[in-house]
Amino acid sequence: MGYTPDGIGYQSTDTSKFAATSNVEHKKTIRDQVLELLTTTNDQMSVEQVSECLGRAQVSVQPRLTELKNDGLVEDSGQRRQTKWGKPSIMWQIKSIG
């Protein structure tokens, strides 16, 4: 997979590359969308909730939350929420300062 200088990924087809490189000033990466959502809501959210709010697949959202955690921008709130499959899910939040 290739990436634009702005970090937008595209597949190895000319149409995918065109879509990634056109109208760049109005594009946000999924990572940026996740961070913006958690910042603007200032709430704890599960992967399920984030993916529903953004209209994105959970398999696209989960790795972005991991990246944001590894970069010190979000953190595990310590709270859990039950998923639709009955499993516990981390409630993510913007990392506290201090």
Q: Which residue has the higher pLDDT, 61 or 6?
A: 61
Could you read off the pLDDT of 11-53 as tens digits, one per residue? 778 787 777 666 655 557 889 999 999 999 999 999 999 999 9
User: 5: which strand partners?
Assistant: none
Residue 6 — pLDDT band, cuts 50, 70, 90? low
Within 13 Å and on the Cβ side, how many CA atoms surround 67? 12
Separation in Å, CA 54 to CA 5, 61, 74, 97 = 23, 9, 17, 26
